[in-house]
Structure formats: structure tokens, C-alpha cells
């Protein structure tokens, strides 16, 4: 039992994610059934309006963040290392940390039921309904804090998997030889690290409005309520690709295995996944076609949305062509994968209909879009997840799921799902708005709603059948290593794999490397190509006969850190003391976590096949997300420039000469940081300490200037709550100051370590990473100084 609390094994973390996700999935499912029961007949009184509003809010939030995303994470965790021929992820303890933070966030969100104040503002929480004025109780606060906690979990995992996939592939596994599931995972992780910062900022704005009286969503102060919508959907649209791309990846593994031929056009499937991820950042305002953005914005986002349909459609065709000409084995996994192909096509086509703003003006905010989103999320994501479940169950548990029961599960779910959601297209066409707790009997919506409710229970029955199948598999048939005659590396090790995954790192012969190993050149015969020789590097790469490998050691700090975070969140809603205790516990645990393996020789060298240090790569990825974080803060500052209803205005209060000096100080600190790194790299410990301390001191001087400036502004009448300038200025520069403070702490920690003789030449990379962070924070300041202080 304790083993599970301290595990850092990616396989166990994956199982934890899966089991927890399933529990939350059931909670979200019950919420859905209550919704459908309430809507089964007109003017129903099963639940009150307030309860209903909480139900659909929690259903959406739970299914997106506590079910689908962690189900995806289960597969990322368990399979990515196996698929790339690695033994674990790049940062096993961070991996565990992601899980425990997720668990804490999920429990925290659902604890709102215990206080009788579950969030009830929709999973999208539009301002200004979410303001303290219109929703005074703690429901929205539960929502904000949970999402922030869950965001931290996802971001950490995002960094972890990017580094893992880039850095830890087995020798010979070039990027284009990676299984498509790994590619989709990689795209998803980039989406996560770049899409979460905008909503983090949007939620910070909302939290500050509610707790500190800032004015980000305060119409009377000149705020624009579209700000929330933009920030939410800049996250929200990539989020739907975060939800679906893993399912696309699963289908891209399952179909070739059971058609017994390669994925048709695998490179194109990869490119289209990357394009979808890229374009996914350019379509967000198609959620705002009714919001009044104007014809130019409407047209631009309409065209972008239609463009993104092309790579998506291409995938469907590639999957069809994979099955075409194959020798199809109709296992349950294949049923679900084929189900996704059909159902996602329907969902995607209804999405195309939404892409036309005039048509969308009828469809948006009606049951038509509810039908669309469930076709892509259930017909797409959930069916894909079930395909993965049946496909990889033997690998993960060592047991086979029953195929007959599985097919029953499929058909019950398929029938129930279509009965539940196809009628909703009609309900939308007949004008039924969404998010309504009841409807009149003369609207013509009664039959459709009743049918939909029946179908919803069919879905429930299907899920129950899966649960039974899963439970019974404990005594089911033992699974061999390769039950499906698979194509990829996870089938090359036992079911389940040993703790170290592979006895020897496998050779990589090309794409579908295991298939090539089994079938040799015969397997490569390609009926449509004409005499093209296989590409270079297809020769088997011999793995070393014996390599010493180091298994990651368990750690209890992830659990403690997560506990600290949740305690702090509870404190926000109860007592400040708890916030302080929770924060202290988190920081303490973070230090112990960071230093746990600091002196261990086996942790000194952490580079991968490309020669990049894991930690450096991780920091670069993190800095990418920080660009989006500060970019959002700066963009908000600029968007609200000139919109303050009362003074003081920037030109009346900013002290440019003074800030020029503090800017210079900060830039000089970067110079000292460069000197510190040079000293560390040549092993000069005294010099290293001198320049580290100098950098930290200059950072403190900069912070001192900032404190002085803030106090002067408050004295002159500019506060957080005074006007939009006050709100945006203090939040932007305040968060930058917080980043500087973290940097100072980091540098002082390194300085202390060095004083105690615990920083060696081999640790120069740690000084380098701190330096990268420090320089980044300086660059951000240059941007802030220019855009806030210098530009009139």
C-alpha cells in the first residue's frame, strides 16, 4: 500500500491515473444521468434550478479535467516509455507529483458538494456571472482553485513527456520512426504547456477580482467581458485537441494491428496531427460567433476553422485506407476504433456546420452543439479510450478482457450513445437552448428529450458492462507478451512488463520496428510502391549486451507537496493560517524533493540520445510556457490601455528615470550570472559563490526598487482596485517580481549548497539552468519596461 503512495514507476503511476479517472468518470456519469432524468419530461421537478446548474457545471468540468485528460494520462504514462524503448520517463518523481496533484485537485473540486456549494456557473464560467456580485458564494472559488491545481498537474506532466519523448528514445528510433501514438502525445504535451498559461492568467484575474477587488471583469471600470472569453477559449480550443489527439493516436495503433498492415500514409497522419495542434491555436473565437466580434473576425476564424477540418478529414481517409485491403480481425479493440472513425466523422461534420458563423448563430448555445461535442468527445475520445483499454489491457494487467462481453459492451454503448445524442441535433434545430433546467411541453422537445434520456442510461449500462469485464478479468486468461501480433515495442516485453520494462533496450529497425523484427523484409513488401529501396538506417541497431540501469527510487515528497497545495487551497476558502501552512509545507517539500538525489552520482548525468540534458530541456519547455504566461499578462495590459474610467494614468505616475536604474541593475545581474556559470564550469568554487551571491543581491536590489515604487504608487492613489491601469500594472509587474523572488531563492540555495561543498563541477548544469531562468526573467522585464514604461 505504501508502495503505491511513494511509487515513481511510470506503469504504476499510469494505473493510479486510470483507476482515479474511472472513479471520477463514474461521478461525472451520475451527474449526467441526473441531468437527463431532469430533462426527460417537461417541467420536471426532480432537481431544483440551482442543483441542475451545478450538475451541468460539474459534469462538464469533471469529464474534461478529471476523466478524459487523466485517462489519456494513464496511457501516456504506461505506454510512452515502452513505445520508445525507454525504461521510464525523464522525471519519474515529477510524474508521481503530477498524479498526486491531480488527485488532490479532483477531491478538492468534489469537496464543494460537501459544503453545499458546488460550482454552478458552467464549465466555461463566463464573466461576469462569475463575479462576486453575481455569484457571491464560494462555488466559483472552488472552481477556480481546482482548475489552477489541475493545471499545475497537467503542465508538469507536459514538460515531463516532452523531455521523455525528445530525449529518451532508444538508439535508432528517429522521430519519424516513433509510433503515431507517441507523436500525438508529443503534440498534446506542447498544447498543454502552451494552452494552460492563458487560462491560468484568466483564472488569476477572476480570483483577484473576487478576492482583492481588481477590475479585470468589471464593466463599470471599463473592462471588456470578451477578455474572459478570449482567454478561456485560447485555452479551451487547444484543450479539445488535447482531449481527442490521444484517441487518434490509439486508433492509429489499433487499426494497423488488426488490419495486419501498416498505417496508411503514416507520415501524413503525423504531419496532420502536428498541423491540427498548430492550427488549433488559431481558431478559438469560433466559440464566440454570437458574441459580436464583427464580420472580419467572424470571417477569419470561420476560414481558420474550416482549414483545420482538412488535416482532420485526411486522418479519417488514412484510417479507412489502412483497413482497406487488410485482413481484419474484429476484436473488441477494433470495434471501438472503427466506432471512433464513424462517430467522429459525424461529430466532425457537425463541427463543420458550426464553422459557418451565420449557421452557427442558430446552432451555438443550442442542443445542436451539445450533440456535436458529445459526438467528438464520446464517439471520439471515449471510444478511442475504450479501444486502447481493450488493446492494452493484457499488457498492463497480464490478463485478457473477455471478447464476447467486450463486443456486448461495444454495441450497448454504441446504441445507447447514438440514441442519447443523435436526437439532440434535432432538438437544436428545433430551437432548444442549452443549459436549461426545464422546458415547456408545447415546444416540441419532449420526444427528443425522452429518447435522449433512455439512451443515456444505455451509456451507463455499457460502462457497467466494461466494469464487469474489467473485474472479471482478474480471473481471466493469462495474456502472453504479444497477444495481438503487434507492431510496436510494448509487445516485445512481458505482460505486464517487469519493473525495468525491458531486459535489454530493444533494437529499432524502423517504423513498426517490432513487426519488422518478426516478419523481416517480407513484412516490408509494399504492393503500390515501385522498386524503391528501404530508407537508410533500417539495418538493425544492436543494443549493448548488458547495460547497467538505474531504477528510480520511490519518494514520498510528491504526496507531501500535493497535500501542501490542497491545504493551501482549503485555506483560501477558510483561514489564512491554512494558506500559510499549506504554502510552507509545499515549499519545504519542494526543497526536499529537489535535493533528494542531489548528491547521488547516478543522478549527475541526465542526458539523452541527442546529448541534451533532461533538466535543461525541461527548463526550455517551461520557459516556452512562461512566454505564453507573460504574453497573456502583457496583452491584457495593452488591451486595457486607455480604458481606465478614472485616474491616475500611466504618464502621471510612472517614474521612468527610477525604473531605468532598476532595469539596469537587473540587467547587470544577468552579467554576474554569466560569470557565475563560467566559474562553475571551470570548478572555481569561490568565484562561483561570489557571482551567485552577487546576482542574487542585485536581484534583491531590483525587488527593493519595486517595493519602493509600489508603495509610492499606492501613496499617490494607484491601487489594484483603483482602475484598470492599477489592476493590470500591479498584477503584471507583481508576477514578474514574484518570478524574480523565486530566482533569488534559487540562487541563494545554490550558493548555500556550494558553501557546504555540495556543488561540484558536474553540477555546473544546475547553475546553467538557474542562469537560463534568470536571463529569461530579465528578458521579460525588458519587454515589460518597454511596453509599460517607455511606450506612450
Partner 1 sequence: MSCCRAPIRRLVASMGALDVALGLGGCARDGPMTTLIARSDLARSILHLYGIITGVAVAIALIVAVVLVWILVRYRGRDAALPPQTRGHTALEIGWTIAPALVLLAIAVPTIQVIFRTQAAPVPAALEIRVLGHQWWWEFRYPSLDVVTANELHVPAGRPVALTLDGPDVIHSFWVPQLGGKRDVVPGRLNRLTFTPDTPGEYRGQCAEFCGLSHANMGLRVVVDAPATFERWIAAQKATPAEPTGPAAEGKAIYARSACVGCHTIRGVSTGSLGPDLTTFGSRRTLAAGMFPSTAATVAAWVKDPIALKPGSKMPALGLTDDQARAVAAYLLSLK
Candidate list 12, 36, 177, 315, residue with the active-site label: 315
Residue 392 known to be catalytic? no
Q: Give the contacts of 232 (CB within 8 A, at least 6 positions apart).
A: 124, 125, 126, 199, 202
| Min CB(791)–partner 1 separation in Å | 25
**C-alpha distance from residue 596 to each of 10, 660, 779 (Å):** 19, 41, 31
- Cell numbers representing residue 390 in the block: 481493450
Q: Which is nearer to partner 1, 88 or 298 (CB)?
A: 298
Q: How far is CA 235 from CA 72, 91, 242, 410, in A?
A: 18, 26, 10, 32
**Marked catalytic residue, from 239, 360, 501, 517:** 239
* Residue 436 touching partner 1 (CB under 8 A): yes
Q: Smallest distance, Å, CB 562 to partner 1?
A: 32
Distance, CA of 182 to CA of 270 (rounded, Å): 10
Q: Judged by CB under 8 A, which stretch of 28-36, 86-94, 351-359, 695-703 contacts partner 1?
A: 351-359
Alpha-carbon gap, residue 67 to 158, rounded angstroms: 17
Residues 391-430 that bind partner 1 (CB under 8 A): 422-423, 426, 428-430
Distance CA 345, CA 318 (A): 13
**Contact letters for partner 1, residues 675-704 (x by CB under 8 A):** ------------------------------
SS (H, E, C) 239-283: HHHHHHHHHHHHHHHHHHHHHCCCCCCHHHHHHHHHHHHHHHHHC
Q: What distance in Å separates the CA atoms of residue 142 and residue 134, rounded to the nearest whole number?
A: 16
Instruction: Confirm or reject binding of residue 639 to partner 1 (CB under 8 A).
Output: no
Cβ contacts of 61 within 8 Å, gap of 6 or more: 109, 119, 123, 143, 146, 147
- Asked if 621 and 675 touch (Cβ cutoff 8 Å), the reply is no
Stretch 193-232 residues interacting with partner 1 (CB under 8 A): 219, 222-226
Catalytic residue status for 302: no
Burial class (CB in 10 A: 0-12, 13-18, 19+), 605: exposed
Closest approach of Cβ 151 to partner 1, in Å? 23
Say if residues 721 and 212 touch (Cβ distance below 8 Å).
yes
> Distance (Å, rounded) from C-alpha 307 to C-alpha 355?
10
Query: Are residues 501 and 81 in contact, defined by beta-carbon separation less than 8 angstroms?
Result: yes
Cβ partners under 8 Å of residue 411, min gap 6: none
Active site residue 48: no
Q: Pick from 1, 2, 292, 545: which binds partner 1 (CB under 8 A)? A: 292
36 binds partner 1 (CB under 8 A): no
- Cβ neighbours of residue 329 closer than 8 Å, sequence gap 6 or more: 258, 260
The DSSP code for 325 is: T
Stretch that binds partner 1, among 186-194, 452-460, 521-529, 672-680 (CB under 8 A): 521-529
- Is 550 assigned a catalytic role? no
The answer to whether residue 123 is catalytic is: yes
Per-residue binder mask for partner 1 (CB under 8 A), 357-396, x = binder? xxxxxxxxxx------------------------------
Q: Is 143 one of the catalytic residues?
A: no
For the record, the C-alpha cell of 266 comes out as 503514416
Q: SS3 of 440, please?
A: coil
Q: Where are the beta strands (DSSP E) in 435-539?
A: none
Q: Work out whether 437 is an interface residue with partner 1 (CB under 8 A).
A: yes
Active site residue 775: no
Any contact of residue 438 with partner 1 (CB under 8 A)? Answer: yes
Judged by CB under 8 A, the chain residues 589 through 628 that form the site for partner 1 are none
Three-state secondary structure string covering 635-658: HHHHHCCCCCCCCCCHHHHCCHHH
CA of 326: how far to CAs of 249, 258, 284, 513, in Å? Answer: 19, 8, 38, 19
Shortest CB 650 distance to partner 1, Å: 22
Asked if 128 touches partner 1 (CB under 8 A), the answer is yes
Beta carbon nearer to partner 1, 41 or 353: 353
**One residue of 171, 213, 326, 647 binding partner 1 per CB under 8 A:** 326
Judge whether 363 and 428 are in contact, CB under 8 Å. yes
* Residue numbers 751-770 binding partner 1 by CB under 8 A: none
Of 236-265, which residues contact partner 1 (CB under 8 A)?
A: 259-262, 264-265
Q: Which of 114, 522, 576, 577 is close enough to bind partner 1 by CB under 8 A?
A: 522
CB of 511 to partner 1, least distance (A): 9
Question: By C-alpha distance, which of 666, 590, 675, 758 is closest to 93?
Answer: 590
Give the residue with the Cβ less far from partner 1, 149 or 263: 263
- The answer to the question of residue 325 lying near partner 1 (CB under 8 A) is yes
Site for partner 1 contains 121 (CB under 8 A): yes
Q: Work out whether 134 is an interface residue with partner 1 (CB under 8 A).
A: yes
Q: Give the Å distances, CA to CA, from 43 to 33, 328, 434, 450, 457.
A: 17, 49, 15, 13, 21
Q: Does 321 bind partner 1 (CB under 8 A)?
A: yes
Query: Total residues contacting partner 1 (rule CB under 8 A)?
Result: 104
| Closest CB 187 distance from partner 1, rounded Å | 19
x/- mask, partner 1, residues 470-509, rule CB under 8 A, reads ----------------------------------------
**What are the cell numbers at 203?**
483564472
Active site residue 153: yes
Which one of the listed residues 252, 302, 473, 663 is annotated catalytic? 252
Q: Which of 132, 226, 260, 434 is catalytic?
A: 434
In the complex, the smallest distance separating the C-beta of residue 113 from partner 1, rounded to whole angstroms, is 18
Instruction: Report the residue from 404, 475, 529, 715 that binds partner 1 according to the rule CB under 8 A.
Output: 529
Catalytic residue among 241, 284, 319, 773: 241
What cell was used for 762? Answer: 558536474
Residue 59: active-site member: yes
CA distance linking residue 471 with residue 749, whole number of Å = 49
Q: Is 338 in the site for partner 1 (CB under 8 A)?
A: yes
Q: How far is the CB of 338 from partner 1 (least distance, A)?
A: 7
Q: Is 286 a catalytic residue?
A: yes
Cβ–Cβ < 8 Å for 457, 416: yes
Cα–Cα dist 192/153, whole Å: 10
Stretch that binds partner 1, among 155-163, 317-325, 468-476, 682-690 (CB under 8 A): 317-325
Distance between start and end Cα atoms, the chain: 61
Q: In the set 4, 19, 49, 472, which binds partner 1 (CB under 8 A)?
A: 49
Confirm or reject binding of residue 42 to partner 1 (CB under 8 A): no
- In whole angstroms, give the CA distance from residue 546 to residue 320: 43
Is 267 a binding residue for partner 1 by CB under 8 A? The answer is yes
Active site residue 154: yes
Among 213, 398, 523, 734, binds partner 1 (CB under 8 A): 523
From 9, 88, 253, 763, the catalytic residue: 88
- Residue 88 or 218: which CB sits closer to partner 1? 218
Identify the residue among 3, 114, 442, 536 touching partner 1 (CB under 8 A): 442
Q: Which of 19, 435, 595, 755 binds partner 1 (CB under 8 A)?
A: 435
Q: Which stretch binds partner 1 (CB under 8 A): 108-116, 155-163, 165-173, 290-298?
A: 290-298
| Distance in Å, CB of 267 to partner 1, minimum | 8
Torsion of CA 391, 395, 401, 406, to 10 degrees: -10
Judge contact between 619 and 769, C-beta under 8 A.
yes
Catalytic status, residue 88: yes
Q: Which helix (H) or strand (E) holds 500?
A: none
Contact 614, 163 (CB under 8 A): yes
Residue 366 pairs in a beta bridge with 433
Choices 9-17, 48-56, 457-465, 540-548; region in contact with partner 1 by CB under 8 A: 48-56
Taking the complex as a whole, the smallest distance from the CB of residue 214 to partner 1 amounts, in Å, to 16
Residue from 6, 44, 356, 397 touching partner 1 (CB under 8 A): that is 356
Residues catalogued as catalytic: 59, 88, 123, 153-154, 237, 239, 241, 252, 286-287, 312, 315, 434
Amino acid at each position: 500500500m505504501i508502495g503505491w503512495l511513494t511509487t515513481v514507476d511510470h506503469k504504476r503511476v499510469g494505473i493510479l491515473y486510470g483507476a482515479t479517472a474511472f472513479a471520477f468518470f463514474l461521478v461525472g456519469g451520475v451527474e449526467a444521468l441526473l441531468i437527463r432524468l431532469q430533462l426527460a419530461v417537461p417541467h420536471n421537478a426532480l432537481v431544483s434550478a440551482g442543483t441542475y446548474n451545478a450538475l451541468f457545471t460539474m459534469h462538464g468540468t469533471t469529464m474534461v479535467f478529471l476523466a478524459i485528460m487523466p485517462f489519456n494520462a494513464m496511457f501516456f504514462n504506461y505506454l510512452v516509455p515502452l513505445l520508445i524503448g525507454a525504461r521510464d520517463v525523464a522525471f519519474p518523481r515529477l510524474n508521481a507529483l503530477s498524479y498526486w496533484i491531480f488527485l488532490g485537485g479532483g477531491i478538492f473540486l468534489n469537496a464543494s458538494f460537501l459544503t453545499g456549494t458546488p460550482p454552478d456557473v458552467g464549465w466555461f464560467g463566463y464573466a461576469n456571472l462569475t463575479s462576486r456580485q453575481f455569484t457571491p458564494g464560494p462555488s466559483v472559488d472552488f472552481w477556480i482553485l481546482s482548475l489552477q491545481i489541475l493545471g499545475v498537474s497537467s503542465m508538469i506532466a507536459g514538460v515531463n513527456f516532452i523531455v521523455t519523448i525528445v530525449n529518451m528514445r532508444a538508439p535508432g528510433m528517429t522521430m519519424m520512426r516513433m509510433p503515431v501514438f507517441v507523436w500525438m502525445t508529443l503534440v498534446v504535451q506542447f498544447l498543454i504547456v502552451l494552452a494552460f498559461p492563458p487560462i491560468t492568467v484568466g483564472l488569476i484575474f477572476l480570483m483577484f477580482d473576487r478576492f482583492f477587488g481588481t477590475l479585470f471583469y468589471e464593466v463599470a471600470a471599463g473592462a471588456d467581458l470578451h477578455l474572459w472569453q478570449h482567454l478561456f477559449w485560447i485555452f479551451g480550443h487547444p484543450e479539445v485537441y488535447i482531449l481527442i489527439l490521444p484517441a487518434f493516436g490509439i486508433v492509429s495503433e489499433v487499426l494497423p494491428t488488426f488490419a495486419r498492415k501498416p498505417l496508411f500514409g503514416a507520415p501524413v497522419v503525423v504531419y496532420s496531427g502536428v498541423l491540427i495542434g498548430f492550427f488549433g491555436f488559431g481558431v478559438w473565437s469560433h466559440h464566440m460567433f454570437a458574441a459580436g466580434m464583427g464580420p472580419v473576425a467572424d470571417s477569419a476564424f470561420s476560414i481558420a476553422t474550416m482549414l483545420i477540418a482538412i488535416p482532420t478529414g485526411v486522418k479519417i481517409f488514412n484510417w479507412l485506407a489502412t483497413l482497406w485491403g487488410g485482413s481484419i480481425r474484429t476484436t473488441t479493440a477494433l470495434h471501438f476504433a472503427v466506432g471512433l472513425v464513424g462517430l467522429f466523422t459525424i461529430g466532425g461534420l457537425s463541427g463543420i456546420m458550426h464553422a459557418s458563423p451565420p449557421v452557427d448563430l442558430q446552432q451555438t448555445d443550442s442542443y445542436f452543439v451539445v450533440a456535436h461535442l458529445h459526438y467528438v468527445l464520446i464517439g471520439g475520445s471515449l471510444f478511442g479510450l475504450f479501444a486502447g483499454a481493450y488493446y492494452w489491457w493484457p499488457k498492463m494487467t497480464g490478463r485478457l478482457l473477455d471478447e464476447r462481453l467486450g463486443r456486448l459492451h461495444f454495441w450497448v454503448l454504441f446504441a445507447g450513445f447514438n440514441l442519447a445524442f443523435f436526437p439532440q441535433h434535432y432538438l437544436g434545430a428545433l430551437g432548444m437552448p442549452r443549459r436549461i433546467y426545464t422546458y415547456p411541453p408545447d415546444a416540441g422537445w419532449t420526444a427528443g428529450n425522452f429518447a435522449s434520456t433512455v439512451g443515456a442510461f444505455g451509456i451507463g449500462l455499457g460502462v457497467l458492462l466494461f466494469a464487469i469485464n474489467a473485474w472479471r478479468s482478474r480471473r481471466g486468461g493469462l495474456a502472453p507478451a504479444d497477444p495481438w501480433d503487434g507492431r510496436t515495442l510494448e509487445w516485445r516485453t512481458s505482460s505486464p512488463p517487469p519493473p525495468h520494462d525491458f531486459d535489454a533496450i530493444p533494437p529499432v529497425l524502423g517504423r513498426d520496428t517490432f513487426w519488422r523484427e518478426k516478419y523481416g523484409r517480407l513484412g516490408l513488401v509494399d504492393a503500390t510502391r515501385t522498386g524503391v529501396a528501404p530508407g537508410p538506417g533500417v539495418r538493425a541497431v544492436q543494443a549493448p549486451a548488458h547495460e547497467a540501469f538505474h531504477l528510480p527510487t520511490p519518494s514520498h515528497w510528491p504526496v507531501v507537496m500535493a497535500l501542501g497545495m490542497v491545504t493551501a487551497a482549503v485555506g483560501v476558502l477558510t483561514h489564512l493560517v491554512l494558506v500559510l501552512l499549506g504554502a510552507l509545507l509545499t515549499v519545504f517539500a519542494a526543497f526536499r524533493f529537489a535535493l533528494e538525489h542531489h548528491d547521488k552520482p547516478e543522478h549527475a548525468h541526465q542526458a539523452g540520445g541527442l546529448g541534451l540534458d533532461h533538466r535543461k530541456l525541461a527548463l526550455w519547455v517551461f520557459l516556452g510556457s512562461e512566454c505564453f504566461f507573460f504574453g497573456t499578462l502583457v496583452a491584457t495590459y495593452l488591451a486595457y490601455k486607455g480604458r481606465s474610467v478614472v485616474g491616475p494614468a500611466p504618464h502621471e505616475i510612472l517614474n521612468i528615470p527610477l525604473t531605468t536604474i532598476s532595469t539596469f541593475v537587473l540587467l547587470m545581474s544577468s552579467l554576474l550570472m554569466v560569470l557565475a556559470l563560467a566559474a562553475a564550469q571551470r570548478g572555481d568554487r569561490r568565484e562561483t559563490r561570489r557571482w551567485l551571491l552577487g546576482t542574487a543581491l542585485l536581484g534583491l536590489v531590483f525587488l527593493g526598487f519595486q517595493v519602493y515604487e509600489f508603495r509610492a504608487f499606492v501613496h499617490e492613489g494607484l491601487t489594484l482596485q483603483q482602475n484598470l491601469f492599477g489592476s493590470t500594472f500591479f498584477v503584471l509587474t507583481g508576477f514578474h517580481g514574484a518570478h524574480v523572488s523565486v530566482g533569488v531563492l534559487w540562487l541563494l540555495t545554490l550558493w548555500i549548497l556550494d558553501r557546504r561543498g555540495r556543488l561540484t563541477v558536474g553540477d555546473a548544469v544546475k547553475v546553467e539552468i538557474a542562469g537560463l531562468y534568470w536571463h529569461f526573467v530579465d528578458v521579460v522585464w525588458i519587454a515589460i519596461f518597454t511596453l509599460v514604461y517607455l511606450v506612450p
